[in-house]
Amino acid sequence: LRSVGIIGTGKYVPEKVLTNADLEKMVDTNDEWIVSRTGIRERHIAAPEQATSDLAYEAAVRALKSAGLAAEDLDLIIVATITPDMAFPSTACILQDKLGAKKAAAFDLSAACSGFVYSMAAANGFIQTGMYRNALVIGADTLSRITDYTDRNTCVLFGDGAGAVVLGEVPEGRGFLSFDLGAEGAGGVQLNLPAGGSRLPASEATVAERKHYLYMNGREVFKFAVRVMENATEEVLRKAGKSKEDIDLFVPHQANIRIIQSAMQRLNLSEEKCVINVDRYANTSAASIPLALVEAAEEGRMKEGDTLLLVGFGGGLTWGASVLVW
Ligand code: ACO
């Protein structure tokens, strides 16, 4: 099997910033509550004319440039998202057209905040076996479109963005060492978008009942997150033949600083070894891990040969983790 790794990175967040002070004017909340409970200070919000494929496009162009590839060199595009432009065609197909990636197969992958790691695992399989050479994997979400800005329980938590990587063959000993993916479908009731699908199509009633907004049982998701962050981390390290001490950089899903801190404590990791940007972007769902990864790369925080651990959790409920050598 071929060794597969990240050969290009790019990210994009929309210009508009929504601060905690802005939210204080919209719902009964305050900066102190939001910062102490979540670590979030501000988030980026898409412009009215921007859809998920537009955010994905900006990140993709940067990732292709950093890989030194043209869109025509792509064999595969996977977009991890739970806020596609529309139910179909897939956001990946819309993006394929925008990029002019004529040779590429294209599909979306739905695993909420775990979607980026799931998508990298899928692309890794295609390249490892030799079916494809170059894959573009993007985590992109516009959660602001499914966020109820009258509900203080959820509206403070989310932001918009996109992070992209190009995967390709790398020298042996580098790239992905292991993946650990999982799902607990029974927990799907804790975090979902109730209406707009085939179960509950859009109607005047679903609009009146505010069922086109994300529903979340925060406490249950919190408990799930803390549990699977630990289990998935241990499992993915075991599969890679690595130990906690081998981790040079920890790239967790950016949902809540308290979840990240509890994971860091259990791994005995110092802050320098952990990427944290939840304060500036909030929870961007599938974009969260790639935004953290790409930002760390742009800041020069990893060097060739470093061992990275990526881990996320989200709707499904799902989790996904990976160990890779940079
Ligand atoms: N401002 C002020 N008060 C608030 C706010 C707010 N924005 N939101 C909630 N509160 C209140 C609640 O009403 C509650 O009041 P009550 O006790 O009078 O009912 C009180 O604060 C405490 O609420 P808790 O739920 O106990 O707060 P908690 O400390 O659990 O934090 C939070 C809530 C931040 C949502 C936390 O549970 C969490 O982070 N959960 C995980 C969320 C997550 O990771 N989601 C992933 C989504 S992934 C995806 O797929 C999109």
Q: pLDDT by residue (tens digit) across 119-171?
A: 999 999 999 999 999 999 999 999 999 999 999 999 999 999 999 999 999 99
**End of a domain among 172, 201, 216?**
172
238-292 pLDDT per residue, tens: 999 999 999 999 999 999 999 999 999 988 888 899 999 999 999 999 999 999 9
| CB-based contact 35:257 (threshold 8 Å) | no
**End of a domain among 156, 172, 188?**
172
Q: Please give the distance, rounded to the nearest whole angstrom, from the Cα atom of residue 112 to the centre of ligand 1.
A: 19
Q: Please give the distance, rounded to the nearest whole angstrom, from the Cα atom of residue 25 to the centre of ligand 1.
A: 18
Shared domain check, 197 and 297: yes
Please state, in angstroms and rounded to a whole number, the distance separating the CA atoms of residues 314 and 14: 23
Shared domain check, 121 and 268: no
Going 167 to 169 to 173 to 177, the CA torsion angle's sign is: positive
Rounded to two decimals, the pTM is 0.96
Q: Stretch 162-187: mean pLDDT, rounded?
A: 97
Shared domain check, 219 and 111: no
The reported pLDDT for the residue numbered 228 is 95
Shared domain check, 199 and 161: no
Shared domain check, 78 and 168: yes
Shared domain check, 108 and 25: yes
Q: Which residues are catalytic?
A: 113, 253, 283
Read out DSSP for 195-236? SSSSSS---HHHHHTTTTS-EE-HHHHHHHHHHHHHHHHHHH
Shared domain check, 278 and 152: no
Going 63 to 271 to 229 to 195, the CA torsion angle's sign is: negative
The reported pLDDT for the residue numbered 271 is 86
How many C-alpha atoms does 52 have within 13 Å on its Cβ side? 30
Domain count within the chain: 2
Shared domain check, 190 and 168: no
Shared domain check, 232 and 185: yes
Q: Determine whether the shortest distance from the Cβ of 149 to ligand 1 is under 6 A.
A: no
CATH of the domain at 103: 3.40.47.10
Where residue 183 falls among pLDDT bands split at 50, 70, 90? very high
| CB-based contact 325:305 (threshold 8 Å) | yes
Helix (H, G, I), strand (E, B) or coil at 180: strand
> What percent of the chain lies above the pLDDT cut of 70?
100
Domain that holds residue 160: 4-172
Shared domain check, 199 and 121: no
The reported pLDDT for the residue numbered 266 is 85
Q: Determine whether the shortest distance from the Cβ of 113 to ligand 1 is under 6 A.
A: yes
Q: Whose CA is nearest to atom 32 of ligand 1?
A: 218
Q: Determine whether the shortest distance from the Cβ of 33 to ligand 1 is under 6 A.
A: yes
> What percent of the chain lies above the pLDDT cut of 90?
98
- ipTM of this predicted complex? 0.92
Please state, in angstroms and rounded to a whole number, the distance separating the CA atoms of residues 122 and 85: 22
